[in-house]
Amino acid sequence: MYARRRHVYFALMGICIALFVLAWAVVRLWSTPAAVGMCVVAMVIPPVAAMIANRRGPEDRWWDDPSGDPKSDEWWDELDGKKKPR
């Protein structure tokens, strides 16, 4: 899952750079408002790409990863209802 999110992130960032470069290298010669519109779209892409890259899937474990301390992990498992109390 991480590799797919990373590929989508880099694809979105590549599109962002391409939009920005094309807007001011090519499109501005014909239409400045279109070039500005392309830059506005390019401006919105990086935050969306960051959200996509940092989101967690249902199979991703991060909040309940074992800490390495068996006593603490046992206590949290009991608290979360994963194990029955002794």
Of 61 and 40, which is predicted with more confidence? 40
Residue 36 maps to a domain: yes
Q: Which helix (H) or strand (E) holds 79?
A: helix 70-80
Which domain, by its residues, includes 31? 2-57
Angle of helix 32-54 versus helix 2-25 axis, rounded to 10 = 170
Residue 13 maps to a domain: yes
Residue 74 maps to a domain: no
Residue 62 maps to a domain: no
Confidence grade of residue 34 (pLDDT, cut at 50, 70, 90): very high
Number of structural domains (the chain) is 1
Of 25 and 54, which is predicted with more confidence? 25
Residue 66 maps to a domain: no
Query: Which residues, including other chains, have CB under 8 Å from residue 35's CB and lie 6 or more apart?
Result: 23, 24, 27, 28
Residue 79 maps to a domain: no
For 56, the token pair is 């967690």
